[in-house]
Amino acid sequence: MNLADLRESLSEEMRAVMAPEFRVLPIETTSAPNLEDPCITYANLDAREMKCRTIETCVLHIDIRQSTKLTLKHQLSTLAKLYSCFVRMMARCGSYYGGQVRSIAGDRLMVVFDAEECFPKAINTAVLMNSVSRFVLNTNYPRNKVRCGIGIDYGKMFVIKAGVRRAGQDNADYKSLVWLGRPANIASKLTDAANQTYGGTCGAPSPPTPPILVTESVWKGYVRFRSANATGQVGKWCSIGIGVPGYFGKIHGGNILNRVFIPRKQPPPKVVPKDPRLRWR
């Protein structure tokens, strides 16, 4: 196929999908969809339809702050070890409270939760990730202080299957789920704003934003479960005076940690009283 034929083929496919008679059939669910869901299909040009899922729930993003500086500062073998540990740790944290990892792109993970009790599950997952990042990842990676940002939003999303079918080993690399809607986008932007230092006054940088940022809807949903789910957590939540593009509500944040991850302070060594009978010579 030459380039002219490719151009015409692509144009014909797009005209077919964008035509008024082509139907998008949303099917509601309360469970986090996956790539094998039979109710999510590619665009079928013969049947002139595509099926997709809709879900109203919490979505969480996490990534490493200033990962570009890490790339420039360390050897590739060191980074390979760090990123492997980070993704593995955060994927395990993401599933601990029932979340489902639905995207891994470099140092960024997206976790989606079933609709039932998604607020406490999402917040507890964020607290767990924050604790592991600070007291497990950094403790075992002393060469550089690794900081992470976490963002959570809640709302309705369309889940579609995008890509093309390929034969052979590359098949899985050419298809994925795409999460359409404000929550996935806002959660990603909150992640970018979390644990960041902005310009301060008189040339002095301002304190960093909290590592966990959530929207007002997530916060209100969590408050209903907070007394029963915050056991063993330390830290304070507060309203954060920053904004992210496309979102105009309040943003809440905190550096909340699981108490079990915080190292216990070692008791001071016992002082043996000097024997007055002994003298230094």
pLDDT in tens, the chain (281 residues): 899 999 999 999 999 999 999 999 999 999 999 999 999 999 999 999 999 999 999 999 999 986 556 655 667 888 888 889 999 999 999 999 999 999 998 889 999 999 999 999 999 999 999 999 999 998 887 666 788 999 999 999 999 998 877 666 666 667 889 999 999 999 999 999 999 887 655 656 678 899 999 999 999 999 988 655 567 899 999 999 898 999 999 999 999 999 999 988 756 655 555 545 444 43
What is the pTM assigned to this prediction? 0.87
Q: What single letter denotes the amino acid at residue 197?
A: T
Domains of the chain are 20-199+207-261 (3.30.70.1230)
pLDDT at 179: 95
pLDDT at 231: 72
Tens digits of per-residue pLDDT, 76-97? 888 888 889 999 999 999 999 9
Token pair belonging to 100: 């489902």
DSSP per-residue letters across 181-220: SHHHHHHHHHHHHTT-----STTPPPPPPPSEEEEHHHHH
Q: Which residues contact 212 (CB under 8 A, 6 or more apart)?
A: 126, 127, 130, 150, 152, 194, 253, 254, 255, 256
Q: Are strands 23-28 and 49-64 parallel, antiparallel or unpaired?
A: parallel
pLDDT at 21: 96
Distances in Å between the alpha carbon of 41 and those of 35, 148, 162, 165, 223? 9, 35, 9, 12, 37
pLDDT at 69: 64
pLDDT at 281: 36
pLDDT at 193: 94
pLDDT at 168: 67
